[in-house]
Amino acid sequence: MGEPGREEYEIHSFDAETQRLLKTALKEPGAVDLEKVANVIVDQSLKDCMFSKEAGRICYTIIQAESKQASQSVFRRGLLNRLQQEYQAREQLRARSLQGWVCYVTFICNIFDYLRVNNMPMMALVNPVYDCLFRLAQPDSLHKEEEVDCLVLQLHRIGEQLEKMNGQRMDELFGLLRDGFLLQDGLSSLSQLLLLELIEFRAAGWRTTPAAQKYYYSEVSD
């Protein structure tokens, strides 16, 4: 998991007013409209993949601060409602903007990584996250390097904890990936390399062996 204790947040891409809103939400969540804050974070995450990688940590901090200050979960409820809306419209999002879709998957996986209930990932997010990753494993997605890259990055980050929540679905996902690697015509050499590395990564217990590190990452940098 990431480092929720770090204090700096990448919010400089927002205008001055929104930066003030977010800074207040991080320190005094009761002083701002937290549903608005949730929408601001999701909107930016769909436009900016760099921010979507940071957003989980920001959301974690706001949720912790709200819980301590007011024992409420207005922000978390607003965030999950908005995630569900975007999840239900995911095919339209992908058709409209491949970058927006990749940002959404990055964001929901980041939220899954950070948000905890009794020190466990949120069960409510397990199947939506799996559904997004299954979509990235479909033949049309495997022909797009941006989607393959997103799939590999997310499974490197959350694959192990996701498998603990539902091992059967992970087996099914990797069955699709193996079929895609072996049977799909027209995959780019980079996509083939990334998929093979991912299959070996899971087979080694979600670890990169020294030999794999040397082989794959020298290939990618070449």
Give the pLDDT confidence of 98-114 residue by residue, as tens digits. 999 999 999 999 999 99
pLDDT at position 157 is: 96
pLDDT at position 70 is: 74
> Could you tell me the sign of the dihedral formed by the alpha carbons of 117, 119, 123, 126, in that order?
positive
CA 216, CA 213: separation in Å to the nearest integer? 6
For the chain, percent of residues with pLDDT exceeding 70: 93
CA 220, CA 222: separation in Å to the nearest integer? 5
What's the Cα-to-Cα distance from 85 to each of 58, 79, 207, rounded to whole Å? Answer: 20, 10, 34
Task: Count CB neighbours of 87 within 10 A.
Answer: 17
Q: What's the length of the chain?
A: 222
Long-range CB pairs of 18-21 (<8 Å, 24+ gap) are none
User: Is pLDDT above 50 for 28?
Assistant: yes
Task: Count CB neighbours of 181 within 10 A.
Answer: 18
Instruction: Read off the amino acid at residue 34.
Output: L
- The overall average pLDDT reported for the chain is 91
User: Is pLDDT above 50 for 187?
Assistant: yes
Q: Please report which residue ranges of the chain form alpha helices under DSSP H.
A: 16-27, 34-47, 49-70, 74-88, 90-96, 98-114, 123-136, 139-142, 145-165, 167-183, 189-203, 210-221
Find the mean pLDDT for residues 158-162: 97
pLDDT at position 71 is: 74
